[in-house]
Amino acid sequence: MIISDDITIPFFESSVAAGIPALADDHVAMRLNLNQHLVKNPTTTFSVRVKGDSMMGATIYDGDLLIVDRSLDPKDSDIAICIVDGEFTVKRLQLQNGAVLLLPENPNYLPIAVDESNDFQIWGIVTHVIHQSR
């Protein structure tokens, strides 16, 4: 589904210190359009909810929303939505010398080696992960 209404939120010009606290600056410089920020190619972008914990090491958790772009060419180390033998999965791609390995980001799961016996498709590349912190 393509969202046609623009959603904007206040965007503070100053950054947030992740180390030593910085002085607060209440100046709102502009409004951030979430559609423009999250969706670069609206006609080829979709979202999907994560089920499972195989990608926790990549900070992708059960219940997170993934923004996925189908127009991007897959590259080694991309996180992708793939179809393997009719099943959807999200994994990190390892693409080397024509071989495809789908890597989980949790040691409790094994990599998936894709070969010619598999019905395999890279459905799209994950561009953003949205998880609720509260």
The residues pairing with 48 across neighbouring beta strands, listed in sequence order, are: 66
Among 130, 78, 123, which residue's Cα sits nearest to residue 102? 78
pLDDT at 13: 60
| CATH number for position 107 | 2.10.109.10
- Residue percentage of the chain with pLDDT more than 70: 78
pLDDT at 1: 46
Domain that holds residue 99: 42-130
Respond yes or no: is residue 91 known to be catalytic: yes
Note if the pTM is more than 0.75. yes
pLDDT at 36: 81
**3, part of any domain:** no
- Are 76 and 105 found together in one domain? yes
- Are 51 and 17 found together in one domain? no
12 is written with which tokens?
């503070």
- Are 52 and 103 found together in one domain? yes
β pairing state of 79-84 and 112-114: unpaired
For 79-134, write each residue's pLDDT tens digit.
999 999 999 999 999 998 889 999 999 999 999 999 999 999 999 999 999 998 87
- Are 46 and 34 found together in one domain? no
Q: Return contacts of 6-15, CB within 8 angstroms, 24+ apart.
A: 6/33, 6/34, 6/35, 6/36, 7/33, 7/34, 7/35, 8/32, 8/33, 8/34, 9/34
Please report which confidence band the pLDDT of residue 51 belongs to, taking 50, 70 and 90 as the band edges.
very high
One of 54, 75, 77, 117 is an active-site residue; which one?
Answer: 54
- Are 70 and 94 found together in one domain? yes
**14, part of any domain:** yes
**Window from 16-20, 74-78, 103-107 with minimum mean pLDDT:** 16-20
- Are 24 and 80 found together in one domain? no
Q: How many domains does the chain have?
A: 2
One of 75, 91, 117, 133 is an active-site residue; which one?
Answer: 91
Respond yes or no: is residue 40 known to be catalytic: no
